[in-house]
Structure formats: structure tokens, C-alpha cells
Structure 1
Amino acid sequence: MLRRFPSALGPRRHALWNERGGPTRAAILLPSGHAMLSVGDDNREINGPACVLVSVQPRHFLRLDAGTPAQVLYFSDLLLVDAIGKGAESVPLRYMAEQSLIVSSEPDAALFDDLAHAFGAIERELGREDGASWRFLTAQLGVILIQCWRLSGLEAAGRQSASTQGALLMRFRHMVELHFREHWRIGRYAEALGLSHDRLHDICVRTLKRSPLDLVHDRLAHEACLQLVRSGLSIEQVAADLGFRNATHFTRFFRIRTGSTPARYRNQITRQHSDRREDTIRSFADWP
């Protein structure tokens, strides 16, 4: 979804959080002017031309000064994963997309023009009467992410740390995101990373105090929680989507990870207030 806020004669405040649900990741384009991004007592100043990547939270507001236009592009985790792909740039792009980031046009105006053009292309595609192309949307979101990566300086910094343990963990994290539904064995992850099983285990335990298997299971349980609360799928359908042999196997796994059955968890969280629910279900950005 893309929201356009034309410039106005006076200042305006727009809520970014949608109480009815929907994607919680957003890219904000500020072609010119001045704005303030606020959540609670945290305020971040934005001077256009600029682009902002943010994970939207309750009580998240965009305050636009008089004469300041803006566009807000909301996108799902699924669109993000497809836009990032599986290439060499996928790991740093995924890491960047999960941070709050503000980039300006100062480093390279041409790169920023490409980024702004992608917003316009997405808006036109979403307005097509015969429906938008998923492939087109992921391609344009990929342009936005890559140009933000370049404008932020993270591309250059990444070249200097490609072999660090932090970079290896980011690569592992991205592979988990791509393959946790396939229930890869840890040895397969290690092989794909060019590491031994013991080396991957050592890096995870020394850095995160958790085993690789525990991290993979945490991601799987996190996705299960999301689907139980945010989707209308039955428990059997959730189990199948997450790669479990059957609902019994899924229920056993879920009880071990959360201390509750899927049905009880869904009923408990659904009864809670929406703000409380969002506090209960962590973002994947909380994964170490």
C-alpha cells in the first residue's frame, strides 16, 4: 500500500500505525521540506530530500511542516524477502531493512532520483485496473533498498567486514529466513555458509549464548505465533505451511517452545487488546 500526502498550507500529523492491521514495515519518501518522525517521546528530524526506512509501531506519527509532501510505502515481510532475493547483497540489505534508517540525497543525487522514481513506479503499478504485478513491485522495492544501502554508506562499510563473525551471523540469519520452513538440518546451513557444523555452533554460542538449532526453532516458533494470531488459517493449515508432517507434530513443537498449545495461544492473544498483542509478538528484528 502507498499513501501520498500532498503539501499543505499548514503543518499536519499523520498516524503511521494501522489499528486494523497490515504491513508494519514502511519506506517514507520526503522529496523536499521538513518533517518529524515520532514514536512516544522519541523524535527524529527529517530534512528533504530524504528517504526513511522504519518498522511502524503503535503511536508512530509523521509530522509534516507546511509545504512538505511525502509518500509512505508499506510492505510485508514476504514482499521484502522476495525483493531482497538470494544474491550476495541479500544479507546486508535484510539487516538494513530491519533498522530505522534515514538517508539523504547529498551523497549522490542521481541515486536518490532512482529511488524516488521507484516510488512513482510502484504507485502507478498499484493503480492498474487489472491488478499489480508482484514481480514488478518486488523489483521496484529492491531498487529502493539498494539505493538506500548505497546512500547510507553501508555498502562501502560492508566490504570491510565481510569475513567477521557478525557478517557470518547475518548470513546465517538470512539463510534461516529463507529455509526455516524446509526444516534444514544445521549441518546443511553450515555447509552453505562454508563452515563446519562445530564452527557455526561455536560462533552462535560464543556470540549469542544460544545454539544454532535454538535460533532456528525460535524463528519457526515466532512465525507460528504470527500466523496463529494474524492469519485466518486453521491450525492444520499453519502446520502444513511451516513444514510440519501433521498438526500433532506441530502442536508438540509449539508446546515445547511456548508452554502452550496453538489453540490456547490463539485464543489467549486474540482476547488481548491490540496494543498489548503487538507487544507480545516480537518482530523478527528482535532475533539476535
Structure 2
Amino acid sequence: MKFSEFNTEAMFQIGDESLLEKYRVGEQLGVFTFIWARQNSARVIVDNIPIRIPQHSILALTPLQFLQFEAGKDLIVYQFNRSFYCIQDHDKEVGCAGSLFFGDMYSPIIPLDDKEQKSYSALHSVFIEEFENKDAIQSEMLRMLLSRFIIKTTRLLKSESASEAITDNKQELVRQFNLLVEAHFKKEHSVAFYAGKLNKSPKTISNIFSKLKKTPLKIIHDRIILEAKRQFIYTNKTSKEIAYDIGFDDASHLSRMFKKQTGSSPTHFRLKSTIN
């Protein structure tokens, strides 16, 4: 089932695992995606990392990620683009820049208990009914339903996440930090830059992140290495070209960071990825 608007290029679709099977190796999603495993678990590869989605759980993905479907049946998949929903980016909780996509967890998996399974199933039924209503207010209704889905999922994520140990204000700062890293990681590699953007000292930022699993510097480095991995796997760029694209004047600097973070040199990593 697919909804689209010609004048805005908005798109929202609901389907099963067939929506995931279409992605070729090395192809970015290009859309926000929820994969809901119900009675069966599923397996996907996201940014070259194998992920198992347990039964009765939901995986959230951003348009930037590379997806390869491995196995799974009777899945429910929701996909939408920025034009359909992300006009609500100003709302930190229900927009595409919310904690569900840019919180302290990357590719979060949200488990559903018996009560939530029934609640999500009921909401899904309303989605299906609304796709049959081809009228002038269908788009608004679908956006409202998607907003409800995202709010419910965000609440579950926050209740499951270790970040619940910090206050809402501090969690909002974590979200803003992640958004800034996403926007500037190719040029800015220091915590001080991001702390300045948030009008905080680097020490304050580090103290806030002390309750989480990653330091702010580790988040920056992980994003750099993720981009390097993507380019080593999915492009034919040289190490020098990749290093320059990610903000390194000398390829050896990226190589040292890459080996420290992954335990493998860029050359060996690319060779192993090609063989696999």
C-alpha cells in the first residue's frame, strides 16, 4: 500500500519484507524505515553490521543507512520520506530529528510486550483502513497516525534506554549533540566545537555523557569511522580521497584512527569486505 502526492513528492508506504528485498548491496535506504518483526525474528545487515530483530520488536532506521535484507517473514514495514512527514522537524519528540532517530542509540530495537503488541496491531489496522479512504484529508490522517506511531515508539525507547537515567533536559542535549555531529563530522572532529555550538564547556558535555555508554569523543569518532567504512565498502575512492572527504589532510591520520577503532587497517578492511 502506497500513498504519494505529486505536488509535494510526499511518500508513505506500508508493506511486508518485499519492501526490503528490493535493496541492492550498497544502496542507501533513502527513506525512514520501521521494520516490525511479529511472530518471527528477522535478520538484516545495516551498514555492513548484521542485526537480528527479535520477534515482537521494531527496528528504526534513517535514510542515511545502507540496508541488506537477509531473512524474515510476515514482517510489517513502514517507510516514509521527508516530504511526507519531516515538516515536523521542529517538534523534537515526533519529528525526524527526534530521539528515536538521533538519540543515544544507533539503529534502536524496541521490544513490545503483550499489551503493546495488541496496541500496535490495533493502530496498524487503522492504518490499513485509512489507505482505503481516497479523499482530500487522507494525507493528514495518515500523518496523524504516523505521528502516533512515532510517539508510542519513542516512549518505549526512552523507557528501555539507559538514557532514562538522565533528565529530559540532558537527554535533549544528547540529541542535539548527535544532530550536530551528523551535520559537521566531516569537518569538525573535536568535542570543543560541538560544546561551543551548544553553549556548554567540553567538561560539561563529558559529564552529561558519563551516564551513557559512549563519551562525546567516541560518538564523533564512531561517526567518522562509520562514514569511512561506508565509503571503503560501497565506493571505489582511494584511501586518500576518503580521508580528505572526512576532513583529514593526511590519509595516515584516518588510517591510524581506523585501525585503533576497528582493529583493522583500511586496506585489510576493504579487502575483507570485498571477499565477503
Asked if TM exceeds 0.5, the reply is yes
The separation in 2 between residues aligned to 1:28 and 1:116, in whole angstroms, is: 19
Alignment partner of 1:179 is 2:152 = no
Alignment of 1:78-89 (within 5 A): 83=86, 87=90, 89=92
Q: Measured at CA, do residues 207 and 225 of structure 1 come closer, stay the same or move farther in structure 2, by a change above 3 Å?
A: same
Q: Measured at CA, do residues 3 and 106 of structure 1 come closer, stay the same or move farther in structure 2, by a change above 3 Å?
A: closer
TM-score, normalised to structure 1's length?
Answer: 0.54
Partner residue of 2:219 out of 211, 215, 219: 215
Q: Measured at CA, do residues 3 and 172 of structure 1 come closer, stay the same or move farther in structure 2, by a change above 3 Å?
A: closer
Partner residue of 2:120 out of 89, 104, 109: 104
The equivalent residue for 2:34 is 27
Between the two proteins, the alignment pairs up a number of residues equal to 220
Partner residue of 2:209 out of 196, 204, 221: 204
Equivalent AA in structure 2 for residue 61 of structure 1: G
Shift of 1:104: 3.5
The equivalent residue for 1:149 is 150
The equivalent residue for 2:233 is 229
Q: Measured at CA, do residues 86 and 196 of structure 1 come closer, stay the same or move farther in structure 2, by a change above 3 Å?
A: farther
RMSD across aligned positions (CA): 5.0
Alignment partner of 1:268 is 2:275 = no
Partner residue of 2:195 out of 190, 193, 199: 190
The separation in 1 between residues aligned to 2:90 and 2:190, in whole angstroms, is: 22
Deviates more, 1:184-193 or 1:215-224: 184-193
Contact 2:189 2:221 in 1 (8 A): no
Shift of 1:256: 3.9
Shift of 1:86: 6.7
Alignment partner of 1:162 is 2:168 = yes
Contact 2:60 2:100 in 1 (8 A): no
Contact 1:14 1:62 in 2 (8 A): no
Shift of 1:54: 4.3
Contact 2:186 2:224 in 1 (8 A): yes
Q: Measured at CA, do residues 174 and 85 of structure 1 come closer, stay the same or move farther in structure 2, by a change above 3 Å?
A: farther
Q: Measured at CA, do residues 146 and 180 of structure 1 come closer, stay the same or move farther in structure 2, by a change above 3 Å?
A: farther
Contact 2:195 2:201 in 1 (8 A): yes
Q: Measured at CA, do residues 200 and 145 of structure 1 come closer, stay the same or move farther in structure 2, by a change above 3 Å?
A: farther
The separation in 2 between residues aligned to 1:171 and 1:143, in whole angstroms, is: 25
Alignment partner of 1:92 is 2:99 = yes
Alignment partner of 1:244 is 2:248 = yes
The separation in 2 between residues aligned to 1:116 and 1:213, in whole angstroms, is: 45
Shift of 1:93: 4.0
The separation in 2 between residues aligned to 1:98 and 1:84, in whole angstroms, is: 22
> Structure 1 vs Structure 2: percent identity of aligned residues?
22
The separation in 2 between residues aligned to 1:211 and 1:191, in whole angstroms, is: 17
Equivalent AA in structure 1 for residue 267 of structure 2: A
Partner residue of 2:262 out of 251, 258, 272: 258
TM-score, normalised to structure 2's length?
Answer: 0.56
Shift of 1:161: 5.0
The separation in 2 between residues aligned to 1:97 and 1:185, in whole angstroms, is: 20
Q: Which runs of 5+ in 1 are unaligned?
A: 7-12, 30-34, 47-51, 65-69, 118-141, 273-288
Q: Measured at CA, do residues 106 and 199 of structure 1 come closer, stay the same or move farther in structure 2, by a change above 3 Å?
A: same
The separation in 2 between residues aligned to 1:181 and 1:92, in whole angstroms, is: 22
Contact 1:15 1:59 in 2 (8 A): no
